[in-house]
Amino acid sequence: MEPESTASELTVAVRTSAQGVVVRPEGELDHDTAEPLRAALRSAVEGGLGRVVIDCAGLDFCDSTGLNLLLHTRLDAEDAGLLLMLADPGPMVSRMLDITGVRAVFHIYPSVAEALAAQDL
């Protein structure tokens, strides 16, 4: 008998438009749940549509694994000539970005619509 997993599930929705790819994780992002988001972000970067927007509104929790995933994806996107943007980070994600001092390395927008419409890049 295998032990039960106590990790909350993380679901990931991906939407593609002419402006780029929107990836929306929902649930808790941690070591045990990061793989679906990792795979979706890898695919979005490899798709090369100009910008990748991570819609953070559905994240209930994000630990250091999630933060590292965001940071590594930002570098991968830059290497591919793409822009990684965060949208609607909410209080929990915003606090994590502030505490860790990495807010300045991300393009952050209050909404997905504003991230997709951004022209000042």
| Helix, strand, coil distribution of the chain in percent, nearest 5 | 45, 30, 30
pTM here?
Answer: 0.90
User: Are 52 and 20 a contacting pair, CB within 8 Å?
Assistant: yes
Task: Report the distance separating Cα 77 and Cα 114, nearest Å.
Answer: 19
Looking at residue 6, its pLDDT comes to 45
Task: Report the distance separating Cα 18 and Cα 15, nearest Å.
Answer: 10
Q: 90-116: per-residue pLDDT in tens?
A: 999 999 999 999 999 999 999 999 999
Q: 19-76: per-residue pLDDT in tens?
A: 999 999 999 999 999 999 999 999 999 998 889 999 999 999 999 999 999 999 999 9
